[in-house]
Structure 1
Amino acid sequence: MVRDPLAGDDAPDLDAVLGALYDEDCRAIIRELDEPRTASELTERCDIPRSTLYRKLDTLTEASLLAEGTEIRDDGSHAGRYEIDFREVIVACDDEREFDIEIERPARRADERLAELWSEVREEL
């Protein structure tokens, strides 16, 4: 098992991950993300009101279950694009009876790793 490589020393928040997975709308969104999709596409596919959908996308992103990218369009407008950012979520109980969560991530292509690094650099500026 690979520990969450994006989390550094901070493991994903157990309550945030479990809360997102418990939420019916969040699970509906995950089911529809067989490929990266925009919020507009997800609104149509999930039959969730747009304002609710954005809150659920934030919940899933904060729980580190979704990755948000940018879809650049020919007309110059841009849209957020969401995709699943996990292969497995494992909840375990350690010897002290404390719960721990691990998220196994899909392998990243070189261009995806570069885009993530660039995004982090822009946030620092």
Structure 2
Amino acid sequence: MTESVLSHEIYALLDDEYAREILKSTNTTEKSAKELSDECDASLPTIYRRTERLIDCGLLEERTQLGDEGHHYSVYKARIKRLTIELDNDELTLEIEEAPPETMADRFTDMWGDI
């Protein structure tokens, strides 16, 4: 995806109420599609469409969690810390600062804390 297409897609996503709510809701805590559906007051298909677009743009990440009885499900977490739009010389530029990556120790602690 080219920079201009990516910027265009991000601008469109930021105009979408559900995409913004998903980013806000997953800023500090991973959430399942069901949790996002409840929090955003949106249908599951709407949540899945928005999460797919957010993942494609690099704004959201998807992880697999182990559920009850060995079932797996996806959880989502925002990947951005800051998003800046600047107007300079009649041109809009978009800068994305990613959230610091989670360490393996953090993931291990989260995994065992859920058991």
TM-score bracket, shorter-length normalisation: 0.7 to 0.9
C-alpha deviation, 1:99, in angstroms: 3.1
Matched, 1:73 2:67: yes
**Which of 16, 19, 22 is matched with 2:12 structurally?**
19
Q: Within 1, Cα distance between the matches of 2:93 and 2:65?
A: 34
Q: Which amino acid aligns with 2:24?
A: R
Between Structure 1 and Structure 2, the one with more helix by share is: 2
**Which of 45, 50, 59 is matched with 2:44 structurally?**
50
Q: Which amino acid aligns with 1:47?
A: D
- Could you tell me which runs of 5 or more consecutive residues in structure 2 were left unpaired when the two chains were aligned: 106-115
Between Structure 1 and Structure 2, the one with more strand by share is: 2
- SS at structure 2 position matched to 1:109: coil
Q: Within 1, Cα distance between the matches of 2:73 and 2:34?
A: 9
How many residues matched?
102
TM normalised by structure 1 equals: 0.71
TM normalised by structure 2 equals: 0.76
- Write the deviation string for residues 21-69 of structure 1: whole angstroms up to 9, x where unpaired: 1101111222222410010111111110111111111121112111111
Partner of 1:99 in structure 2? Answer: 92
- SS at structure 1 position matched to 2:49: helix
Inter-CA distance 111–100: structure 2 relative to 1 (3 Å threshold): same
- Higher relative contact order, structure no. (Cα contacts within 8 Å, ≥ 6 residues apart): 1
**Which of 29, 48, 52 is matched with 2:22 structurally?**
29
**Which of 69, 74, 83 is matched with 2:77 structurally?**
83
Report percent identity of matched pairs: 26
**Which of 38, 43, 46 is matched with 2:32 structurally?**
38
Query: What RMSD over aligned residues (CA atoms) do the two structures have, in Å?
Result: 2.1
